[in-house]
Amino acid sequence: MTGAASGIGRATALLLAREGARVLVCDVDEAAGRATVDAIAAAGGEARFARTDVTREAEVAAAVRTALDAFGRLDCAVNNAGIAGATGPLHETDTEGFVRTLAVNLTGVFVCMKHEIPVMARQGGGSIVNMASGAGIIAVPGMAAYCASKHGVLGLTKTAAVENARTGVRVNAVCPGTTDTPMLRVARERGPELEKMILASLPGGRLGRAEEIAEAAVWLCSDRASFVSGEAMLVDGSTVSR
């Protein structure tokens, strides 16, 4: 479970543990990641922490090995690590920031799946959930890098799902709407124009909660979704439909 130190990742890790999963909490933020592990333990679950930067393939490979060493199997994986990244009109976007956004949000998902899929296929199956976004389906002005990365996540998800239709490895994506997370709070502080745009995009008049997104991710991980693969599940309070 990458990006599990806060927000949607933390909520998903906690819910997975409540449903009986043993969870490897992966994040670059060691203090917050260990706090997630402590919260799982306090609730009676089992978890371990592995500091993992998804832009470094060796660390991703090490995290998968850690999960196998600790738990013996890798039945599900939620690839959630992400950043808001470079913002502003496309023609004014810093190229280094654009590349960094794709490195975390898109290449990070690719590298995670590269190491997760073979393990699951050898076991005879498993479930991978990639965290995309409503911005992977529609345009969000001023967020070209983020949109590109999340559109790419959906392409990776669908390709991996088709490639593994006979291996028993299901691959799906969750596309959250605007959700109340620490990452969003930082983005909202950047200026009144972004705040105005966010509020105008919410047909239901409220932000999503991390726990609501976690419910979708955990369902896709479970056997209850045994015939679901290649899906991009919107969990956005009808934002994209408006």
Which one, of 68, 58, 153, lies nearest residue 104 by Cα?
A: 153
Task: Indicate the burial class of 184 (C-beta count within 10 angstroms; 0-12, 13-18, 19 or more).
Answer: middle
Q: Could you tell me if 33 and 5 are in contact, meaning their C-beta atoms sit under 8 angstroms apart?
A: yes
Q: Of 74, 146, 176, 220, which residue is the catalytic one?
A: 146
72 is catalytic: no
- Alpha-carbon span 143 to 92, nearest angstrom: 11
- Alpha-carbon span 42 to 208, nearest angstrom: 26
Token pair 């994209």 is found at: 240
Which one, of 127, 113, 33, 22, lies nearest residue 70 by Cα?
A: 22
Task: Indicate the burial class of 122 (C-beta count within 10 angstroms; 0-12, 13-18, 19 or more).
Answer: exposed
Active-site residue list: 146
